[in-house]
Amino acid sequence: MEAPLLADRYTLGDLVGRGGMADVFRGHDRVLDRAVAVKVLRESTAEGSDRARFTSEARTLAQLSHSGLVTVLDAGVDIDRPFLVMELVDGDTLADRLRAGPLDLETAGSVGVQLAEALAYAHERGVVHRDVKPANVLLDPGGRVKLADFGIARLIGDTVRHTQTGHAIGTAAYLAPEQVQGGEVDGRSDVYSLGLVLLESLTGRREYPGGSVEAALARLSREPEVPADLPAEWRETLAAMTAVDRSARPSADQVVALLRGQLAAPVASPGPAPRAVMADTGSATRLMTEPVTRVAVVPPDAGTHQPRIDRWGGWLAGLPARAGRRWRRTEPHERGVVAALLALVAFLVVVALLDSGSADEPPRDETPVQLTGPLRGAVSTMLRALEVAQPVSGAGEESAPVEDEPTVEDDGADVQPGKGKGRDKNKDKGKGKNKG
């Protein structure tokens, strides 16, 4: 059987879709030798309003040129049967795709962005689609999305109606509340329908099922149920798009921005992938894929024990800085006292060196016994004045170690243990008598 031929140019092939008033066939353009989609008004359609809608769709699509909209290539009438030639989109509809299950967030977001961009383009030119639903969303193998079927689209503010006033037109499950009530529609009506399409894409279920009347009236009694397990940004966007009050809904341009922001948002990951390191097992080398934890080797009692020389070395190293800070905080009259004490210590040291040094006896490193007592007293007085040896607790300065305090040991050749102190006193007494 020979394939039908329209206008002596378009050969009709397999039926690829059916609408409320027309059928869509895969066709072939014999003039340009290319595959096309041909939409033909059914013969059983006798109402003048259907013909008017068909003609309106052709004229509307002819005014629009966008990558997210099906492109019109030609239009005409063959034996009193209007037809519309459009680009052929190979692939499934979104309705077909959802039969296999819901979409992931990234795919649903990409579909939503492309549809919102196409709607924003149409709205800017005063065109409202009025029938956004999964069956009118075409998906090609390359991931592109196209919005089809502008059969009931109309210009915003157009006074020519193809339906009776107060009569709802569109697919009941996706109608906006104002469409159900037969009120005026604008671009935000398409945004509501797109919100229901995205919600169904994420959940895999139609939000308002049932018959036409039941589905249409359900949205007037309750708002769509947005799953709580969706990310907060998605919940807020879907709730805004499907608000009953259309003044609270975002525009299609705003939906594009919202969905793009969600696609660009970073996705939480369980952590960086483990690095592959080589571990020696003794007999062979194996690949380890688990993260390697470095363990520091701590010697026993490292946290409580510190060599004595290290403690005193650190304390003495910080002594000049602490003394300098204390000196800057000292009052002028106190500085005079400290300077006098330092001068006394310096004088005693010089006297001791002159007294102990001679040509016949090599100099000794030890402090002379007769200066041990005065030096101790002078140093102690100086340290108390500077408050370095015992800084005030909580002042932020390091305290000197309290254990194992350094002592000045007398030479055993000159002073016997336990007797050196007594000998010094006797010498002092003798000196006193001679002076008298």
pLDDT single digits (tens) 405-416: 443 444 444 434
**CATH T-level fold of 92-264:** Transferase(Phosphotransferase); domain 1 (1.10.510)
Residue 109 has pLDDT above 90, yes or no: yes
Q: Supply the angle between the helices 105-124 and 187-203 in degrees, to the nearest 10.
A: 170
**pLDDT at position 161:** 44
Split at pLDDT 50, 70, 90, the class of 307 is low
With contact defined as beta carbons under 8 Å apart, do 250 and 258 qualify?
Answer: yes
Predicted confidence at residue 20, as pLDDT, reads 73
pLDDT tens-digit series, residues 56-83: 777 877 888 999 999 889 988 887 788 9
pLDDT of amino acid 339: 76
The Cα–Cα gap between 168 and 178 comes to 9
Least confident of 36-40, 302-306, 336-340, 378-382: 302-306
Query: For the residues 302-306, what does the mean pLDDT come to?
Result: 48
* Contact indicator for 226, 235 with CB cutoff of 8 Å: yes
When pLDDT is averaged across residues 364-384 and rounded to a whole number, the result is 58
In 3D space, the residue among 191, 199, 236 whose CA is nearest the CA of residue 109 turns out to be 199
**What is the percent of the chain with per-residue pLDDT over 70, rounded to a whole number?**
59
CATH H-level superfamily of 5-87: Phosphorylase Kinase; domain 1 (3.30.200.20)
Region 208-217 average pLDDT? 86
The CA-CA-CA angle for residues 424, 426, 429, to 5°, reads 110
Structure tokens at 288: 């380890």
pLDDT tens digits for range 257-266: 999 998 876 6
| pLDDT greater than 50 at residue 304 | no
Catalytic positions: 131
The proportion of the chain whose per-residue pLDDT surpasses 90, expressed as a percent, equals 36
Q: State both tokens at 235.
A: 């919940």
| Per-residue confidence band for 400, with pLDDT thresholds at 50, 70 and 90 | very low
**Is residue 345 very low, low, confident or very high in pLDDT (cuts 50, 70, 90)?**
confident
> Each residue of 23-46: pLDDT tens digit?
999 999 999 999 999 999 887 555
What pLDDT sits at residue 2? 75
Output the pLDDT for position 55: 78
Exposure string for 186-206, b = 16+ CB within 10 A, e = fewer: bbbbbbbbbbbbbbbbbbeeb
Q: Mean pLDDT in the chain?
A: 74
- CB-based burial label for 329 (10 Å; 0-12, 13-18, 19+): exposed
Task: Map tokens 């994420």 to a residue.
Answer: 202
Band of pLDDT at residue 417, cut at 50, 70 and 90: very low
Taking the C-alpha atoms of residue 54 and residue 58, their distance in angstroms, rounded to an integer, is: 7
Q: Hey, where are the domains in the chain?
A: 5-87, 92-264, 308-357+366-431
